[in-house]
A = this chain, B = another copy of it.
């Protein structure tokens, strides 16, 4: 990997909400790059308890973290995500031109038009340690700002899942808003709504209509289905 990589959207975390965000952004033509300190995609439940039964994912009378991750990866595949696994994001900066830069623990710097924090509950007690909570990412020199905390999460606007910083979003267990439940299914909803605001952000504020896979040929073509 080169020392600087660009993507439309940088996602910190690779759990269920992050994986579904690839799909949601992908149907509008955006490419995502995911970073996770764990060595595989799927987040906490897939990595720590891959075979433990889960009963509350809608449409799955019973599944488990491993199986759900595989399905989400397959659903995201046509959107051609890139992954950097086993590396922690340790720095986050907004550049003068409005783009974002994320620094990894090996010195790699990744740049994107927008960033989604999808770091789950944030701290995993897993070797090799060095875990950094999303809200404790070190703001880079170009940014003088805090992430607003709320009940252990990052406060977001529940209409957009944007934080107080333009182009910086939080979804899944990392975010908080009135009524928030730490359910996988809520992470999917949060990814979908964040996508609409990310579209506006990446297009300089332009509002575009929502496209549905059942009615939009362009969406189906991006998924290789038409």
Interface residues of A (CB under 8 A from B): 16, 20, 23-24, 27, 45, 49, 52-63, 68, 71-72, 74-75, 158-160, 177-179, 181-183, 185-186, 188-189, 192-193, 196-197, 210, 212-214, 219-220, 223, 225
Interface pair A193/B213, CB less than 8 Å apart: no
Interface pair A55/B181, CB less than 8 Å apart: no
A164 to B201, CA, bound (A): 33
What are some 13 contacts across the A-B interface (CB < 8 A)?
A55-B75, A55-B220, A55-B223, A55-B225, A57-B59, A58-B188, A60-B75, A61-B75, A159-B177, A185-B189, A186-B189, A186-B192, A188-B189
Interface pair A74/B61, CB less than 8 Å apart: yes
Copies in the complex: 2
A197 to B181, CA, bound (A): 12
A59-B60, A59-B75, A179-B159 known; A225-B185 Cβ under 8 A: no
Residue of B nearest to A189 (CB): B189
Shortest A71–chain B CB gap in Å is 5
Interface pair B179/A196, CB less than 8 Å apart: yes
A73 to B24, CA, bound (A): 26
Interface pair A71/B55, CB less than 8 Å apart: no
Interface pair A61/B56, CB less than 8 Å apart: no
A181-B193, A183-B192, A210-B181 known; A68-B75 Cβ under 8 A: no
Shortest A116–chain B CB gap in Å is 16
Question: Which B residues touch A189, using CB under 8 A?
Answer: 183, 185-186, 188-189
Question: Which B residues touch A177, using CB under 8 A?
Answer: 159
A216 to B45, CA, bound (A): 16
A15 to B58, CA, bound (A): 13
Shortest A216–chain B CB gap in Å is 10
> Shortest 4 CB-CB distances between A and B: which pairs?
A159-B179, A189-B189, A159-B178, A55-B213
A214 to B182, CA, bound (A): 12
Q: Identify which of B55, B59, B159, B210 contacts A59 (C-beta below 8 A).
A: B59
Shortest A21–chain B CB gap in Å is 10
